[in-house]
Amino acid sequence: MLKIENLQAGIEGKQILKGINLDIKPGEVHAIMGPNGSGKSTLASVLAGRENYEVTGGSVTFDGKDLLELAPEERAGEGLFLAFQYPVEIPGLSTTNFIKTAVNEVRKYRGQEALDAVGFLKYMKEKMAMMNMDQSLLSRPLNEGFSGGEKKRNEIFQMAMLEPKLSILDETDSGLDIDAIRIVSNGVNKLRGKNNSVLVITHYQRLLDYIVPDFVHVLYKGRIVKSGTKELALELEERGYDFIKNEVNVGEEA
Amino acid sequence: MKTEIYQPEREEKREDLDILEQTVLNEYKYGFVTDIEADEAPKGLSEDIVRFISSKKNEPEWMLEWRLKAYRQWLKMTEPNWANVKYPAINYQDIIYYSAPKQKINPKSLDEIDPELRRTFEKLGISLDEQKRLSGVAVDAVIDSVSIATTFKDQLAELGIIFCSMSEAIQEHPELIRQYLGSVVPATDNYFSALNSAVFSDGSFCFIPKGVRCPMELSTYFRINAENTGQFERTLIVAEDNSYVSYLEGCTAPMRDENQLHAAVVEIVALDHAEVKYSTVQNWYPGDKEGKGGIYNFVTKRGICKGVHSKISWTQVETGSAVTWKYPSVILKGDHSIGEFYSVAVTNNLQQADTGTKMMHIGKNTRSRIVSKGISAGRSQNSYRGLVQVGKNAEKARNFSQCDSLLLGDKCGAHTFPYIEVKNNSAVVEHEATTSKIGEDQIFYCNQRGIDTETAVALIINGFAKEVMNQLPMEFAVEAQKLLAISLEGSVG
């Protein structure tokens, strides 16, 4: 589904990703872990198409298409979803209204008819029941005055509404207490299926107790330096990132 | 699990999203010209022209005297220059002050209206055919200097409501006109009101008798068509005790290279417990991208809450005009009266707007609320100018003002000039102001959800302006949201 080959990218002339290789197949959940500054969020931004990041080499194919050629909204249309680490506020714009626009824009891209008000509400109600989402959040202006947990729940609800093929969760656990992590993770787990994949980006292992990955990759200094199964995450938790750093640094010296 | 009954939100009923999707037009779409023979006055202004206009309208002597008095005052006045706008000097002798489509005078029925004129209004989305109108809105259609039709007149008359053109009101209801015309905005109030008083050609008159709640929206649609003409309309609304009316005003003009002057006066009188809601969607031609052409919109709008517990509410969505100079105001004379001003002013390209309000608290326990949202794009300049005045007898007067500015790009300007004068210690006056920019983060967030940049901007500005848009009657809100999106097209990205 997603194939990243030797991806190099940076911002303002500074190289951050120095050759990433990653292959995600339908139905798989991959986790990317790494210390601060390793390039985790840069990877998420580059995949979603944030403008100020510059790709300097490598390729990314998404469902056979050259992802890097597509505008951010086209990537969304193709089924790529990014749950933001810091969801933005849009004062005065109701969350429902925003989601309705998003759903219909994505439907338009996919050649489906736009949902009218009635159809949309029916669809939204189904998803609300599935995700245990209540109305009050959706009536409020988008993310305005939301707590950290509410913002992340809202992200995951949007993910449910847009039915993406690949969801990237960028440090979704940051700033959340354990209850909020559980709620958000339950949401993500409900959305797992054999045709859609998830890329979880996180600093801490604890999120992976709830969203159990098939593969874990360690990102360090812009490269994936170690890959393994979920046990790798536990090892990281136990030994800290230092052992990875040491391994890499020793390797570099040799 | 608890199932919540979902309550659709107000803006969803309006289906604004579908409308935003339709905003694919880049150009001012009302810029066409109707080819119709016109009956015009010669260019320029003099006592003779004032007499010419008065006689064209077959006015009584008192009206002519009123005009002449205003004209003589105007001659002694000088054009104000304190507004934060710049424009070349206006040559008042180069303007045509009267232009009327040559059509049958006083058509008995709507069928007698020139088909070309009917088509003009159809094109603008205003049907003069009562049968075809879906919504309960009565329209007075004014083209250049004259009103050509007023719909639903008979139905309204059954309730004692008078809704007609100003020309007709002068003929048919002279006692009301003499009592109220100029009672809120005296001819000598300012340069442009004096000019208007001398040469006003038409406009609407609306009278709601005691205890009547007007069952439909009343509206006037103003259209400038002829070249080199100025439009000087005059609107007067009188709401007697315990009455209510909601009034709408819309306007457009053809695209022309030269600037055209629009100097209107609107007066509102609200007696005891009366309520008047006045909404404007101003979309005069704004000029092209280089600032060529466009309407100079110099308007005086003022209402007086004369009676106790009366209420006047101004809502305006200002997207058009090259230069706007306008401060819809309320004199809060009656005890416990309420004045409101809700405004969205959008400027793009080289447009300039200096707009705001005046709330003059005279009576006790009077309250006013000001919500102003300025959106600037391109190289435009957008100023809010407001005055809150509390007189020495205005015990416990309250005012709340909120002025927010949103900037698109870095070549435009937003300015706020709040003036506060309080002469009573028990008054509470609050003012809040913010300035923000549409962030790249906001746009990217929308993009990531599949929403393109143009639509994202429309969503963001509609969110920004929502508090004001919610004040508009439903029929206008949809139109206004479209307008906001269209007038900012191409300003980001």
- Alpha carbons A136 and B251: distance in angstroms, whole number: 39
Q: Over 60: is that where the pLDDT of B219 sits?
A: yes
Rg over alpha carbons for chain B, rounded to the nearest Å, is 22
**Interval B355-372 mean pLDDT:** 96
Q: At what angle do helices A178-191 and A117-131 cross, to 10 degrees?
A: 120
Residues of chain B with pLDDT > 90: what percent?
45
The answer to whether the Cβ–Cβ distance between B11 and A73 falls below 8 Å is: no
CB B350 within 8 A of CB B381: no
Q: Looking at A143-147, B50-54, B119-123, B435-439, which range is the least confident one? A: B119-123
Q: Work out the average pLDDT over A55-66.
A: 96
Bridge-partner residues for A166, per DSSP? A80, A197
The string of pLDDT tens digits covering residues B59-117 is 999 999 999 999 999 999 999 888 888 888 888 898 888 877 665 545 555 666 667 66
Q: Least CB-CB distance to A73: which of B11, B451, B466?
A: B451
The residues near B402 (Cβ < 8 Å, ≥ 6 apart) are B370, B371, B372, B431, B432, B433
Q: What average pLDDT does this structure show over A189-205?
A: 93
C-alpha distance from B473 to closest chain A C-alpha (Å) = 19
For residue B20, what pLDDT is reported? 29
Contact B452 A114 (CB under 8 A): no
Could you report the per-residue pLDDT of B31-66, keeping only the tens digit for each? Answer: 666 666 667 788 889 999 999 999 988 999 999 999
Q: Pairing relation of β-strands B162-165 and B146-150?
A: unpaired
Q: How confident is the model at residue B378 (pLDDT cuts 50, 70, 90)?
A: confident
Asked if A105 and B452 come within 8 Å (Cβ–Cβ), the reply is yes
Return d(Cα A117, Cα A119) in angstroms, integer.
6
Task: From A185, A175, A237, A238, select the one nearest A207 (Cα to Cα).
Answer: A185
The C-alpha torsion from B451 through B455 and B456 to B462, rounded to 10°, is: -140
How does DSSP assign B378-435, residue by residue?
TT-EEEEEEEEEE-TT-TT-EEEEEEEEEE-SSS-EEEEEEEEEE--TT-EEEEEEEE
pLDDT at residue B251 greater than cutoff 90: no
Residue B165 pLDDT? 87
Residue A121 sits at the chain B interface (C-beta within 8 Å): yes
Q: Is the pLDDT at A28 greater than 90, yes or no?
A: yes
| pLDDT of the residue at B377 | 85
Q: Which segment of A144-148, B143-147, B445-449 scores lowest on mean pLDDT?
A: B143-147
Q: Is B234 exposed, middle or buried (0-12, 13-18, 19+ CB in 10 A)?
A: buried
Most B-contacting residue of A52, A90, A109, A137 (CB-CB within 10 A), to test interface? A90
Say what the pLDDT of residue B493 is.
47
Q: Is the pLDDT of residue A178 over 50?
A: yes
With 50 as the cut, is the pLDDT of residue B3 above it? no
- At B225, the pLDDT band (50, 70, 90 cuts) reads low
Find chain A residues with C-beta within 8 A of B442's C-beta: 88, 90
* Mean pLDDT score, A99-115: 96
Read off the pLDDT of residues A42-52 as tens digits, 9 standing for 90 and up.
999 999 999 88
- Chain B residues lying within 8 Å of A121, measured CB to CB: 6, 8
- How much of chain B, in percent, has pLDDT values that exceed 70? 79
In this complex, do A105 and B450 lie within 8 Å of one another by their Cβ atoms? yes
Q: Give Cβ neighbours of residue A9 (< 8 Å, ≥ 6 apart).
A: A15, A16, A17, A42, A46, A53, A54, A55, A56, A58
Q: Token digits for B338?
A: 């309420």
B146-150 and B137-143 strand pairing: antiparallel
A158–B444 C-beta distance less than 8 A: no
Fold (topology level) of A2-253: Rossmann fold (3.40.50)
- How far apart are the CA of B457 and the nearest CA of chain A, in angstroms? 11
Pair B462, A90: CB distance under 8 Å: no
- Tell me which residue has tokens 């007696």: B271
**Segment A129-158 mean pLDDT:** 92
Beta strands in chain A (DSSP E): 2-11, 14-24, 29-33, 53-62, 65-66, 80-83, 90-94, 141-142, 166-170, 197-202, 215-220, 223-228
Residue range B332-341: mean pLDDT, rounded: 98
Report the half-sphere exposure of B213 (CA within 13 A, side-chain side).
2
A122 touches chain B (CB under 8 A): no
From B8, B455, B466, residue closest to A101, measured CB to CB: B455
Per-residue tokens: A183 = 């709620």
Residue with token string 């003012």: B431
Q: Kindly report the average pLDDT of chain B as a whole number.
A: 83
Does the structure show a pLDDT above 60 at B331?
A: yes
Give, for A44, the enclosing helix (H) or strand (E): helix A40-48
Gap between the Cα atoms of A226 and A18, Å rounded: 15
The answer to whether residue A50 neighbours chain B at the CB level (below 8 Å) is: yes
**A90–B463 C-beta distance less than 8 A:** yes
Distance CA A167, CA A158 (A): 11
CB–CB of B381/B349 below 8 Å? no
Residue A54: Cβ-neighbour burial (10 angstroms; 0-12, 13-18, 19+): middle
pTM of structure = 0.82
CA of B6 to nearest chain A CA: how many angstroms apart? 7
Q: Do B455 and A105 touch (CB under 8 A)?
A: yes
A178 touches chain B (CB under 8 A): no
What's the pLDDT at B98? 83
The predicted structure's pLDDT at residue B309: 98
CA dihedral B59, B61, B64, B65 (to 10 degrees): -160
Q: Do A124 and B6 touch (CB under 8 A)?
A: yes
With an 8 Å Cβ cutoff, is A232 touching chain B?
no
Quick one: CA dihedral B471, B474, B478, B480, positive or negative?
negative
Give the one of A81, A88, A97 whose C-beta lies nearest to B442's C-beta: A88
Minimum-distance CB partner of A48 among B7, B9, B448: B448
Q: Is B12 in Cβ contact with A117 (below 8 Å)?
A: yes
Tell me the per-residue pLDDT of B448-493, one tens digit each, with 9 for 90 and over.
Answer: 999 999 899 889 988 999 889 888 877 677 777 777 777 776 665 4
User: CB–CB of B442 and A87 under 8 A?
Assistant: no
Rounded percentage of chain A residues whose pLDDT exceeds 90: 81
Residue B267: pLDDT band (50, 70, 90) is: very high
Q: How confident is the model at residue A25 (pLDDT cuts 50, 70, 90)?
A: very high
Alpha helices, DSSP H, located in B144-221: 153-158, 166-172, 174-180, 191-199
Nearest to B406 by CA among B484, B471, B480: B484
